């Protein structure tokens, strides 16, 4: 898939495909994405690399989840997480209370967890392979 072929009506979550915490977060979002807003791409994939290069993010400096809205905007770290829960609606919108804190505080907490995620949650040998039912949610 090429950048021009990305669905314009979906928000794309780029995630660390070998991180157990990140994979759990993806599963969490999938189960609650009742409006079918999100699509998912592993940062390690060819498409993931094309997207980060297209939007100009150096992943050596970003240890993060990225939310990309094709042709509109992108968010990373805590801001991406806050944008995602906003779209999930329901009680999860309550997590937006963290938006009252300055970005540097939210990102410091985010970075701390990101630095320790493999130690605390482990990592996989390879990226998750979605089940046939979930395959349409993942872009390749």
- Of the ranges 44-53, 59-68, 70-79, 80-89, which one carries the lowest mean pLDDT score? 59-68
Q: Is residue 128 very low, low, confident or very high in pLDDT (cuts 50, 70, 90)?
A: low
Question: Which two structure tokens, joined as six digits, stand for 118?
Answer: 């493999």
Mean local confidence (pLDDT), 84-107: 81
Mean local confidence (pLDDT), 52-70: 83
- Of the ranges 11-15, 35-39, 75-79, which one carries the lowest mean pLDDT score? 75-79
Report pLDDT for 18: 83
Contact 66, 14 (CB under 8 A): yes
Report pLDDT for 62: 63
Mean pLDDT of the chain: 86
Contact 21, 117 (CB under 8 A): yes
Q: For residues 22 and 121, what is the distance between their CA atoms, to the nearest angstrom? A: 9
- pTM for the structure as a whole: 0.86
Report pLDDT for 127: 66
Task: Annotate 55-116 with DSSP letters as a single string.
Answer: HT--TTT--S-EEEETTTEEEETHHHHHHHHHHH-GGGGGGGGGGGS-HHHHHHHHHHHHHH
Residue 61 confidence (pLDDT) above 70:
no
Percentage of the chain modeled with pLDDT above 90: 36
Q: Which is higher by pLDDT, 133 or 137? A: 137
């Amino acid at each position: 898939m090429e950048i021009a072929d990305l669905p314009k009506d979906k928000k794309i979550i780029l995630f660390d495909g070998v991180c157990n915490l990140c994979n759990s977060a993806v599963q969490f979002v999938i189960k609650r994405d009742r409006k079918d807003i999100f699509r998912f791409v592993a940062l390690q994939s060819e498409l993931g690399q094309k997207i980060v290069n297209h939007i100009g993010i150096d992943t050596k400096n970003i240890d993060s989840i990225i939310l990309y809205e094709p042709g509109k905007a992108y968010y990373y770290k805590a801001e991406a997480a806050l944008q995602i829960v906003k779209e999930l609606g329901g009680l999860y919108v309550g997590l937006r209370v963290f938006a009252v804190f300055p970005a540097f505080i939210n990102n410091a907490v985010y970075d701390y967890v990101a630095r320790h995620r493999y130690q605390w949650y482990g990592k996989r040998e390879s990226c998750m392979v979605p089940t046939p039912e979930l395959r349409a949610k993942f872009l390749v």
